[in-house]
Structure 1
Amino acid sequence: MTSLDPRALRHAFGSFMTGVTVVTSHDQSGQPIGFTANSFTSVSLDPPLVLVCLANQSRNYDALVNGDGFAVNVLAETQIEISNTFARPAEDRFAGVNWHKGPAGSPLIDGVSAWFDCTLHKTVEAGDHVILIGEVKAFDVSPHPGLGYARGAYVTAATTAEPAGTGPDLVVSALIERNGEVLLVDDGQGGAMLPEALAGPDGASATVRQLIADTGLTAEPGFVYSVFEDVARKRQHIAFLCQAGAGAPVRGTFVPLAQDGAGEAGLEDISDPAILTMLERFAREATLGDFGIYSGNQRSGEIRQIA
């Protein structure tokens, strides 16, 4: 369990993709209840508040609106079946799911990317939904990459890779960040680039781990920060945000994203315009602590805000 220090909490909100969550609580008889949701948002750091949205027609409406609190379980990329289980009608959604009681009393699912255990702070009626605002009493974040959902399909490192010969090449890059700086490597043509490679037979997740290992740094792949198609070069590009630990890289150099709090600096050697645009966006979002995941092509697309 992690300290409720505001800086730790801000890092937790920004360190994973919150596309798929399971909101859990218990009914009046003490039995666990839960549902799959993708409307989890941070509201405040002082006090630490988060919100989720619940349909007025939900079978869990009375228990959650009149209950003591709830937990938000941010699913890991290996937990698609758990997401499906809690999205479908079932008598006991917790059957076959490993879980334990959290510090504030709500059920916490084992193996998730992160969890936030909350007491109920306030409810707000909003059309055909009710907004549940919870005060975070305890939370924790694991190194497991989060499970996303976009365009009607789950987004994971494993499912992003296409079999060889069935589509465009999949290029994986590592956006390795540390203390406001990003790691750039020589592109071999007098410019700079992110560490990148074609996805290997073991998929994108294994590829990004190898990219990190090649730098000599200690880091874990975080959430998928950007997915875009380079139509001209027939490539699909996926970038993972990775937080690096201490130590000097054996390959590449850390370059500041911003200087003196104004504008982007140190990125002028980036040779790929699409990557430069992505890093300029990351520099702005890192300053605000408000991240989004991009999907589209190298010219235009959509940014989905995440907590």
Structure 2
Amino acid sequence: MLTTGTAKIPTAIDPIALRRAFGTFVTGVTIITTRDTDGNPRGMTANSFTSVSLDPPLLLVCVAKSASSFAAFTTADSFAVNLLHEGQVDISATFASKSPDKFQSVNHDRVHTGAPILTDSLTWFDCTIYNRVDAGDHVILIGQVQAFGTSPSAPLGFCRGRYASVKDPLPSGWLASHNMIIGYLIEASGEILLRADGSGGWALPTAKRRKAGSELPLNDGKSLKLLSDNTFLYSIFDVADCDPGYLIYRARLADGGQGRDLPEDLRFFAIDKLPYDLIPTRELRAMLRRYVRERKQERFGIYMDSGDGGRLAMIEGEARSWHQAIQD
């Protein structure tokens, strides 16, 4: 600021120089995602991410008003922040572009709010909107964290307009997140229920709670009634050694599949015509093929992932209540 006598004349800020100055602060790289009013996944690269509060759990990101996804982020009631690891430079570049097929190159899923979660990311936060604040040429989105997951990968850094390597800061004894994606393998009348993943593929429907319940809530506010006595843990596995992992229950519909009234993103497939080529991950395909084999024998097992290919324990006989079992 220049001073002339007692008058202070403000000097103009050079926006290019200011941007360079801001860029000397080393940040991580995030992909922020949401769904537009038609339910389509939208996402963009951003490095303006900050933790805000632990109680309540809040974070913020800034979205430029010039961004093509700006309208989606300012009308949605939820969004996700996906922090990238050092091996995801190409994904950062894709989401920084105007490509119409950004989500074709990444595995993504729904966890809590329905916002797309990039399942291979370093860390993800699934948020509902807590507040929006207008700030110059950006809008600040303050999100309340509803679910999150992380992994022990090294982060992707960014400084002075370039990607930067960050020495892995993982402390000794660090454990990956305990949050997992809860999936349901639901059969009715010889068909399996699958959910569209928003990018032309199919996956299992997911739930918010780790414990199996008597119903599966759907995104439209409705729910599917399940036979609680026929809902069992079926498989636990990671995908490409990244967090979150999957916890899969097998279940049957309480009404036997009659009178189905499902959202557009859910569809039943005949058990001998499952679209394996449209299921995005090898692990999910392998799990479904195992289910088909075991169903023919009416003899099911529980699979648990391990470094040597996993463990499979077969279950014999009909299910009994805990009280019956301890009395025998």
With normalisation by structure 2, the TM-score equals 0.44
Q: Which has the larger radius of gyration?
A: 2
Larger RCO, structures 1/2 (Cα 8 Å, 6+ apart): 1
Please give the TM-score of this superposition, normalised by the length of structure 1: 0.47
